[in-house]
């Protein structure tokens, strides 16, 4: 091994600004939420000259940002990772910069958290600024041992754990790649852990990336990478994986498939690197995730008064477009088992895979106790190697393109897209079922419950399609819409070849999807005030402004690990399938249609399912969750399944999410100091589970909040979700509303006006079988019985359609 000396930094400069950092580093928060319409890209940092930006220290551009000598009272100067855009100083939104110790810049921030504050009385001893040979060697040995000396039991088909594994599945090639990347990341993590222990590096320095030790030229440098230059920066069509959405070489990987998730706040890893959050702030162990779920997330039927199950189902479709984490796996892609047979107990420590984090079940558990289950399999998420070659904390990897780009329809790589295409008329492959188009069948046995050829599953751009039959229904809908558009385009433009027809149809479909997300879906979820505050409302006319190459579109851990999992509470445990009229003809328990798509072959089922989705209320987003998910998730033919609520809690701890209280502070609110600060019933429930208000898991705390006015979620989740959708809009150069000045695939104004006529209702009408579905409520996410939302016939003039004549090309 060669030893690399790096710049000695006794004061360990804090990495604050991100114009200089690599594509995968860069916790670059959106500049969303600015109140006026001024183009804010001119008000943030001045970019270094294009080209090689490496090594340039970020400087505040003279007149663009206001510099405060010291932050006002009650406001702290913190590194950028601690200060999401919406809590920066100055009218709550605009960044104001300040000096951090060590000569770098931070933001005056309302969060009040300051992990880099000088620790009273302790002068830090300067730590080694290189990774010593001994650490490299020790970490190599430790990694070898982890990989080879432990019995790694694979999960077997037929177990609920097997189906859970499919939640992280895409395909065999992807599994293999993930295995290697994950291992590289693990080696870095182990070296970081050994090093930081030896040098006694404070946890706060690790979680704020305040450790300037790199491992270039060591064996750990396998995946270090420099800037990625785009060969075609102005390509008309976005790439499948999202690469080169941002043109700048240091940012061209932002938001692309395989890139790490970002964070709103630094992680709460107990060792600052990867050890999950398992202890209370008072040092005692946190209550286990299953026990917390059982006590806090009970099953109470509280239907939403306004929104229907289509809002829930569309939410999952969007979730799968923008995020898919990956669990750590064995070399052949097999899943890791952490418990003994039938979940009787956890495997002994020395036999357990390093990524095991089993959920222990109490013998008193009123459900699992009766089956003698004491251990639920849970495997930690795999990480992305640090491409900037620096010692740092673990970053979870997301496998799909982070953008809203219908990657659920087309896949997140060119290779997947190729498998899905018909290569004729620009169409996607479909299977024919008595004249109706359904998705093609899958050949990959790992993506299906059964390897019985009679029970095959469906294939789409996303590996999770068969998770529940209502999700398959939406996949069919969007694939049909693609083919409908391609057909129309071909009719209008007989000279266009397959490739152009495919790409143009894809471009239009993505625009329709984005329009529905920002025009119909998101306002329902976060409410009109947050829509305005974060500048998310679509325009009626003209091109929108607001793209900024400063905005990192990447998914945040807070969004994927907690806030957007609010959707799990909105699921009903049953589908009441209505035939025409109000009669319920069949009641389906949701576990019976998880990874069991056979009903899709019933001729009227597709229409019936769509109608059920827009008729049946969804559940409120609260601390109640159906047993269909918290006891019977993926049960298959077993008497019990998994507990998704427990998984969400455990996942948050695995991802190192900070407690709920820290996010109250992010919003500028006072933290809870006692459980008595809450309404009595909730406070008592929480006090029975958590030792201190700082311990409350983010997913739990967020769901306990009352919804905002005209919104589905409470203020904390709405903030995290708004921040995320702001990234998807302001950080996506190909966003449908942008003009030629930024978007190389911009629509003409005439075309854009047509796209703005898209509605979920129209999409349903245009792609139904019309066997039992002849009409649709104009606001498709609002219950059909809601005032002013009576279903109208599909040929009604009240359902405007996108006139594709605007795409006639000569």
Q: Closest by alpha carbon to 584, among 629, 615, 626, 620?
A: 615
Task: Give the total of residues touching ligand HEM (CB under 6 A).
Answer: 21
Minimum distance of ligand HEM from residue 158's CB (angstroms): 17
What tokens appear for 787 in the block? 């005032």
Which of 320, 515, 578, 730 does the annotation list as catalytic? 320
Minimum distance of ligand HEM from residue 644's CB (angstroms): 6
Whose Cβ is closer to Ca ion: residue 319's or residue 618's? 319
Whose Cβ is closer to ligand HEM: residue 473's or residue 779's? 473
Indicate the Cα dihedral angle 202, 203, 209, 212, nearest 10°: 30
Residue nearest to ligand HEM (CB): 567
Q: Which does 321 bind (CB under 5 to 8 A by kind): ligand HEM, Ca ion, none?
A: Ca ion
Q: Residue 109 is inside which H or E element, if any?
A: strand 105-109
From 188, 324, 408, 548, residue interacting with ligand HEM (rule: CB under 6 A): 324
Q: Residue 285 is inside which H or E element, if any?
A: none
From 27, 272, 315, 777, residue interacting with ligand HEM (rule: CB under 6 A): 315
Distance, CA of 532 to CA of 517 (rounded, Å): 15
C-beta separation of 630 from 643 below 8 A: yes
Q: Closest by alpha carbon to 564, among 378, 702, 696, 412?
A: 702
Q: Which does 595 bind (CB under 5 to 8 A by kind): Ca ion, ligand HEM, none?
A: none
Minimum distance of ligand HEM from residue 373's CB (angstroms): 17
Whose Cβ is closer to Ca ion: residue 346's or residue 517's? 517
C-beta separation of 103 from 73 below 8 A: no
In the shown chain, the binding pattern of residues 391 to 420 toward Ca ion, with x for contact by CB under 5 A and - for none, equals ----------x-x-x-x-------------
What tokens appear for 88 in the block? 């920066």
Whose Cβ is closer to ligand HEM: residue 568's or residue 727's? 568
Whose Cβ is closer to ligand HEM: residue 276's or residue 315's? 315
C-beta separation of 61 from 121 below 8 A: no
Taking contact as CB under 6 A, which single stretch among the options 474-482, 491-499, 512-520, 567-575 is the one that binds ligand HEM? 567-575
Minimum distance of ligand HEM from residue 378's CB (angstroms): 7
Does residue number 626 form part of the binding site for ligand HEM (CB under 6 A)?
Answer: no
Does residue number 289 form part of the binding site for ligand HEM (CB under 6 A)?
Answer: no
Q: Which does 335 bind (CB under 5 to 8 A by kind): ligand HEM, Ca ion, none?
A: none
Does residue number 620 form part of the binding site for ligand HEM (CB under 6 A)?
Answer: no
The answer to whether 320 is a known catalytic residue is yes
C-beta separation of 58 from 45 below 8 A: yes
Rounded to the nearest 5°, which phi and psi values hold at 325? -80, 175
Q: Does the annotation flag 568 for ligand binding?
A: yes
In the shown chain, the binding pattern of residues 239 to 278 toward Ca ion, with x for contact by CB under 5 A and - for none, equals ----------------------------------------
CA distances from 458 to 300, 404, 476, 746, 769 (A): 33, 22, 10, 33, 18
Q: Which does 401 bind (CB under 5 to 8 A by kind): Ca ion, ligand HEM, none?
A: Ca ion
Does residue number 312 form part of the binding site for ligand HEM (CB under 6 A)?
Answer: yes
Whose Cβ is closer to ligand HEM: residue 273's or residue 311's? 311
3-state class percentages of the chain: helix first, strand second, coil last, to nearest 5 = 35, 10, 55
Does residue number 564 form part of the binding site for ligand HEM (CB under 6 A)?
Answer: yes
Q: Tell how strand 359-360 and strand 375-376 pair up.
A: antiparallel
Minimum distance of ligand HEM from residue 573's CB (angstroms): 10
Does residue number 565 form part of the binding site for ligand HEM (CB under 6 A)?
Answer: yes
Whose Cβ is closer to ligand HEM: residue 317's or residue 410's? 317
Minimum distance of Ca ion from residue 24's CB (angstroms): 18
Taking contact as CB under 6 A, which single stretch among the options 22-30, 313-321, 332-340, 345-353 is the one that binds ligand HEM? 313-321
Q: Closest by alpha carbon to 611, among 567, 590, 580?
A: 580
Minimum distance of ligand HEM from residue 2's CB (angstroms): 38
C-beta separation of 542 from 591 below 8 A: no
What tokens appear for 621 in the block? 């987003």
C-beta separation of 210 from 356 below 8 A: no
Minimum distance of ligand HEM from residue 58's CB (angstroms): 30
Buried b vs exposed e over 754-772: b needs ≥16 C-beta within 10 Å?
Answer: bbbebbbbbbbbbbbbeeb
In the shown chain, the binding pattern of residues 444 to 473 toward ligand HEM, with x for contact by CB under 6 A and - for none, equals -----------------------xx-----
Minimum distance of ligand HEM from residue 164's CB (angstroms): 5
Distance, CA of 262 to CA of 256 (rounded, Å): 12
Q: What is the DSSP letter of 336?
A: B
Taking contact as CB under 6 A, which single stretch among the options 312-320, 341-349, 415-423, 432-440 is the one that binds ligand HEM? 312-320
Does residue number 321 form part of the binding site for Ca ion (CB under 5 A)?
Answer: yes
Whose Cβ is closer to ligand HEM: residue 202's or residue 267's? 267
What tokens appear for 620 in the block? 């409120």
From 308, 323, 616, 619, residue interacting with ligand HEM (rule: CB under 6 A): 323
When computed from its CA atoms, the radius of gyration of the chain, rounded to whole angstroms, is 26
Q: Which does 48 bind (CB under 5 to 8 A by kind): ligand HEM, Ca ion, none?
A: none
Whose Cβ is closer to ligand HEM: residue 522's or residue 773's? 522
From 22, 139, 316, 473, residue interacting with ligand HEM (rule: CB under 6 A): 316
* DSSP output for 540-586: SSS-B----TT---PPBHHHHHTGGGGGGGG--SEEEEE-SSS-EEE
From 251, 380, 395, 568, residue interacting with ligand HEM (rule: CB under 6 A): 568
Residue nearest to Ca ion (CB): 407
Whose Cβ is closer to ligand HEM: residue 546's or residue 636's? 636
Q: Tell how strand 105-109 and strand 584-589 pair up.
A: unpaired
Q: Closest by alpha carbon to 227, among 26, 386, 21?
A: 21
Whose Cβ is closer to ligand HEM: residue 629's or residue 742's? 629
* Positions of E strands within 568-715: 574-578, 584-589, 617-619
In the shown chain, the binding pattern of residues 183 to 222 toward Ca ion, with x for contact by CB under 5 A and - for none, equals ----------------------------------------
Minimum distance of Ca ion from residue 402's CB (angstroms): 6
SS3 assignment, position 379: strand
Taking contact as CB under 5 A, which single stretch among the options 76-84, 149-157, 318-326, 584-592 is the one that binds Ca ion? 318-326
Minimum distance of Ca ion from residue 416's CB (angstroms): 12
Phi-psi region of 440 (alpha: psi -120 to 50; beta: other; left: phi over 0): beta
Distance, CA of 330 to CA of 410 (rounded, Å): 27
**β partners of residue 738:** 544
Q: Closest by alpha carbon to 130, among 26, 2, 233, 244?
A: 2
Q: In sequence order, which ranges of 655-714 are alpha helices (DSSP H)?
A: 660-666, 680-687, 698-704
CA distances from 667 to 88, 180, 198 (A): 10, 39, 37
Residue 750: count of CB within 10 angstroms of its CB:
11
In the shown chain, the binding pattern of residues 129 to 168 toward ligand HEM, with x for contact by CB under 6 A and - for none, equals -----------------------------------x--x-
719 contacts: CB under 8 Å, gap ≥ 6: 86, 530, 663, 666, 667
Q: Which residues bind Ca ion (CB under 5 A)?
A: 321, 401, 403, 405, 407
Q: Which residues bind ligand HEM (CB under 6 A)?
A: 164, 167, 312, 315-316, 319, 323-325, 467-468, 560, 564-565, 567-568, 571, 594, 644, 647, 651
Please give the annotated binding residues for heme b, written as ranges: 568
* Residue set of the binding site: 568
Q: Give me the active site residues, please.
A: 320
């Amino acid at each position: 091994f060669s030893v690399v000396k790096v710049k000695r930094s006794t004061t360990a400069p804090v990495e604050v600004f991100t114009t200089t950092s690599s594509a995968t580093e860069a916790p670059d928060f959106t500049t969303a939420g600015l109140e006026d319409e001024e183009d804010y890209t001119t008000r943030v940092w001045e970019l270094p000259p294009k080209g090689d930006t490496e090594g340039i220290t970020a400087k505040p551009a003279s007149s663009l940002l206001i510099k405060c000598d010291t932050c006002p009272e009650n406001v702290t100067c913190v590194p950028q990772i601690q200060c999401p855009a919406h809590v920066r100083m100055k009218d709550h939104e605009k960044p104001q910069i300040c000096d951090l110790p060590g000569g770098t810049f931070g933001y005056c921030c309302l969060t009040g958290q300051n992990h880099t504050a000088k620790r009273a009385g302790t002068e830090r001893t300067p730590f080694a600024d290189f990774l010593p040979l001994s650490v490299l060697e020790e970490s190599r040995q430790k990694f070898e041992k982890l990989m080879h000396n432990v019995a790694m039991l694979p999960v077997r088909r037929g177990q609920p754990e097997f189906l859970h594994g499919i939640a992280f599945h895409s395909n065999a090639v992807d599994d293999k790649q993930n295995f290697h990347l994950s291992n590289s990341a693990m080696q870095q993590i182990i070296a970081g852990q050994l090093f930081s222990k030896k040098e006694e590096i404070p946890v706060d320095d690790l979680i704020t990336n305040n450790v300037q030790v790199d491992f270039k030229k060591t064996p750990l440098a396998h995946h270090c990478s420099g800037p990625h230059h785009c060969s075609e920066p102005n390509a008309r069509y976005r790439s499948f994986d999202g690469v080169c959405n941002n043109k700048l070489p240091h940012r061209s990987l932002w938001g692309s498939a395989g890139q790490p998730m970002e964070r709103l706040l630094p992680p709460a890893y107990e060792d600052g690197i990867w050890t999950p959050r398992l202890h209370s702030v008072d040092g005692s162990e946190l209550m286990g995730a299953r026990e917390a779920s059982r006590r806090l997330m009970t099953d109470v039927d509280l239907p939403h008064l306004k929104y229907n199950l289509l809002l829930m189902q569309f939410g999952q479709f969007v979730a799968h477009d923008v995020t898919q984490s990956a669990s750590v796996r064995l070399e052949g892609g097999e899943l890791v088992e952490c418990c003994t047979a039938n979940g009787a107990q956890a495997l002994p420590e020395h036999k357990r895979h390093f990524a095991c984090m089993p959920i222990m079940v109490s013998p008193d558990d009123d459900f699992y106790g009766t089956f003698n289950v004491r251990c639920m399999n849970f495997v930690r998420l795999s990480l992305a190697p640090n491409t900037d070659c620096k010692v740092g904390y673990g970053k979870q990897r997301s496998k799909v393109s982070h953008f809203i780009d219908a990657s659920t329809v087309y896949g997140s790589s060119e290779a997947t897209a190729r498998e899905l295409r018909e290569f004729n008329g620009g169409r996607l492959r479909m299977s024919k079922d008595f004249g109706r188009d359904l998705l093609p069948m899958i050949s990959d046995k790992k993506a299906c419950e059964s390897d019985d050829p009679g029970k095959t599953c469906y294939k789409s751009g996303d590996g999770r399609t068969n998770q529940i039959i209502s999700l398959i229904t939406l996949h069919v809908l969007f694939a049909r819409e693609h083919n409908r558009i391609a057909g129309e385009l071909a009719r209008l433009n007989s000279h266009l070849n397959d490739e152009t027809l495919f790409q143009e149809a894809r471009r239009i479909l993505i625009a329709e999807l984005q329009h529905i997300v920002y025009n119909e879906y998101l306002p329902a979820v976060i409410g009109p005030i947050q829509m305005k505050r974060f500048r998310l409302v679509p325009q009626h006319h003209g091109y929108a402004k607001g793209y900024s190459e400063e905005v990192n579109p990447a998914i945040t851990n807070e969004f994927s690990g907690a806030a957007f999992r609010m959707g799990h509470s909105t699921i009903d445990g049953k589908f009441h399938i209505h035939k025409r009229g109000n009669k319920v003809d069949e009641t389906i328990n949701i576990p019976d249609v998880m990874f069991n798509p056979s009903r899709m072959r019933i001729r009227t089922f597709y229409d019936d399912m769509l109608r059920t989705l827009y008729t049946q209320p969804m559940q409120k987003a609260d601390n109640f969750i159906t047993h269909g998910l918290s006891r019977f998730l993926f049960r298959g033919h077993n008497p019990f399944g998994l507990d998704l609520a427990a998984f969400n809690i455990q996942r948050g701890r695995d991802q190192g999410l900070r407690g709920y209280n820290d996010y109250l502070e992010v919003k500028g609110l006072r933290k809870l100091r006692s459980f008595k600060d809450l309404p009595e019933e909730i406070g008592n429930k929480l006090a029975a589970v958590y030792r201190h208000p700082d311990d409350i898991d983010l997913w739990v705390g967020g769901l306990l909040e009352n919804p905002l006015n005209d919104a589905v979620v409470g203020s904390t989740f709405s903030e995290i979700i708004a921040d995320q959708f702001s990234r998807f809009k302001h950080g996506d150069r190909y966003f449908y509303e942008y003009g030629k000045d930024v978007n190389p695939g911009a629509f003409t104004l005439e075309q854009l006006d047509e796209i703005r006529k898209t509605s979920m209702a129209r999409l349903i009408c245009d792609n139904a079988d019309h066997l039992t579905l002849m009409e649709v409520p104009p606001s498709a996410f609002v219950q059909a019985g809601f005032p002013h939302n009576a279903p109208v016939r599909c040929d009604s003039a009240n359902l405007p359609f996108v006139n594709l004549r605007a795409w006639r090309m000569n």
